[in-house]
Structure 1
Amino acid sequence: MKTIYEGKTKDIRQEDGKTYFYFKDDVTGKDGVFDPGENQVGLSIEGSGRACIAMSKYFFEKFEADKIPTHYISADVDNRLMEIKPAKVFGKGLEVICRFKATGSFIRRYGKYAKDGDDLNRYVEFTLKDDERQDPLINEDALVLLGILKEGEYDRIKELTRSISQVIYDDLKARGLEMYDIKLEFGRLEGSDEVVLIDEVSGGNMRVYKGDEYIEPLRLSEMIVGK
């Protein structure tokens, strides 16, 4: 199996014309502390790769049942391999955040107008993947002007983000959990203009609480799919 791209938390591999994600045990953080909002690998946690792919498999298969378009094909949890349809990211990478409650960077930016835990009603924001510039926010006009999105794609991604996030929110709510926010990624399938959900859907992409208690990603995965 050939590695064609090495990422922070997972690699892209190819074999026999098929494309796979390989999930690593590295997680983002700073000073040895996990932080999903960080842009650097902060530590390695044994079992985190398996937890990520197990949870991603669970949610991608829910999306498939709901006819939500994704790049997912299948997953081998024990070997940490997820087969995917090849897709191209928007520009050099675009992240989309859906916020149910105010926390994290939202409060750092808008703390004069909001307090931690305020309801945000599935507020959607777009950021460029750019470690050097701390993943800057970007609006629809700039995305189209810079050639990152085509006309109409902003609204399509926003619609998909809210639908996907609601599926996850409802699943967690049924377990007595509350998702404050989630980070998603989208792309166009190779040879097509179809916009699909890409990357992973795991505890490292979302902030989830039980009451006032923050649920760590590994524990969240155990609560959703077991060990």
Structure 2
Amino acid sequence: MLKTWSLRIIMWQSNPKCWCVLEFGKNKQCTIVQRSFRRIHHTNKLSYKSILEWCNNFIERKGHSGCPGVPENVIERVRDNYLRSPKKSKRRCSQKLQLLQRTVCKILCKCLRFTPDKLQLVHQLYCKFYLIVQELMENYPDLLSKIIFSDEAPFHLSGKMNKHSVRIWGTQRNEFERKSPKVNVFCAVTERAVYEPFFFEGLSITGSTVALMFAG
């Protein structure tokens, strides 16, 4: 008996609503719940309305705490919306369906189990490629010294950048001119050396451009 009473006190201290719901389920009388509440907490701040409201919420939600669940028709609306347009953002979906953005996010992540994925383009590798590389490694022990790892990047003088990886938050929409002046930067690294960045104003870097650069 003492153990049960101690457990009730612990539950009341952690969540008084749970304690009141359990007491009402046991006695079915709000008066007894109020007396027990007053005896433990020494206060009368517990009304009939609060007790009945907590019990009704517990029955309607089937014991689940937190925010109410999302209706099935709303989940289906979001599902159909993204099946027709998978690239649509959460903001546009919330505006179209007249829902809160956090509700759309909850439906996508918790209800539908959708995950955001960014499309990437990759080169397909064939079995023939593996055989060629293996043959080169066997015939040329110093193959690594003959490989050059390089990359290039354009820098626009207007401040334009890759819109797919950068988000600018502000009160005004930013605008950039098309085909603005730019500087192409090229850099390479080998087994023995690092080739310093080379700058090309307004020119696209091609194979012939790189050959002339290394020749010079």
State whether TM-score is above 0.5. Answer: no
TM-score band, normalised by shorter chain: under 0.3
TM-score by length of 1: 0.16
Larger RCO, structure (CA 8 Å, separation 6 or more): 1
Higher strand share: 1
Indicate the structure with greater helix content.
2
Asked which structure has the greater CA Rg, the reply is 2
TM-score of the aligned structures, taking structure 2 as reference length: 0.16
